[in-house]
A = this chain, B = another copy of it.
Amino acid sequence: MRLIFVGFGTVGRGAAECLLAARAQLAASGLAPRLVAVIDPAVGSALCADGLDEAELLRLADAGISLAEHEGAETIVGLADVLERNAADVLVELTPTNLQTGQPGLDHVRAAIEAGLHVVTTNKGPIALAYHELAAEARAAGVQLRYEGTVMSGTPVLSLCEAGLAGAGIRAIRGVLNGTCNFILTQMEQGVDYTDALVDAQQKGYAEADPSGDVDGWDAAAKALILANCVLGAELGIDDVQRTGIAGLSRADIETATAEGNTWRLVARIEAEDASYRAAVAPELVRRTDPLGALTGPRNLLAFDTESLGEVVISGPGAGRRATGHAIVADLLALHRRGAV
């Protein structure tokens, strides 16, 4: 299984670390992935048909040295260059999410499918904005498209829906899908002001310098959209997701909730409505004893309401270098189990 990584920032390096850590376990499953190319405009690009060394790539990137310096690597211009050489089986798309255009991930995914490569991605943009189109293109090309890392990073929620919950009749999904907001709300419950909690989240690396993607609910909305379209078969666009962020919550709101045994959570909900589904992200008052109310800090959680099983709840990390990197390992193993490569 020959891989191209596009993107070698935090997520790409986490994926390389996870591949290294899981090497023995992958080999036991008969899977020996070989990283033949890495493309990143910031840290450099490299191609080596015999395989690049993940540890060496990590050393170079962390030292700020161009990946082109990897021993024996050829210089490459871009993805098209690698695809033309027929050098790989799977594109691993790890560039940052853009919810307006899906770019540059969307072009990368399309080009790879067209070239007959399977695609694994952690990039929410292409999946949130163009899932049905990309899935149809992948089916027509006879390749697979996997995206575990787009919702709750490596916490295996999409494979749970695909495998164990298949046939259980999922009626509705609700959950906490943005760790930054959950961290801020948890801090506010302990008496910290919104602004101080946000700065704390930024210092801890949970929130970006521009926090609007998190606190305005865009990130959670993209994940709700992916669940609606990919798991429940809805055909919604990002503007169909009703979205309210957490910036309107005051200390007084939080204190009143606490006094009444409740807590505010930024809740994503996907529910049946008429012949389709309604998706929304908004602050909700939930009981402390509710699984969503009991979730503290930057963790994420999804509760599935099913016909056969009633409520099934899964929680885990929603972000992080290793956690998101694991999603790539899980998706590559799934490609292998399904006989793709």
Contact = CB atoms under 8 A, between A and B. Distances in A.
Chain A's interface size range is: 35 or more
A139 to B, nearest CB: 14
Contact of A326 (B163, B309, B316): B309
A21 B309 CA distance: 13
Contact of A316 (B148, B296, B311, B315): B311
Interface in A299-313: 307-313
A156 interface: yes
Nearest to A165: B156
Contacts of A312: 155-156, 314-316
B25 A330 contact: no
Say what secondary structure dominates the interface of chain A.
mixed
A18 interface: yes
Interface string A134-162: 00000000000000100000111101101
A178 B310 CA distance: 17
7 contacts: A18-B167, A156-B312, A167-B326, A167-B329, A294-B294, A309-B322, A313-B313
Interface of A: 18, 21-22, 25-26, 29, 148, 154-157, 159-160, 162-169, 289, 291, 294, 296, 307-317, 322-323, 325-326, 329-330, 333-334, 337-339
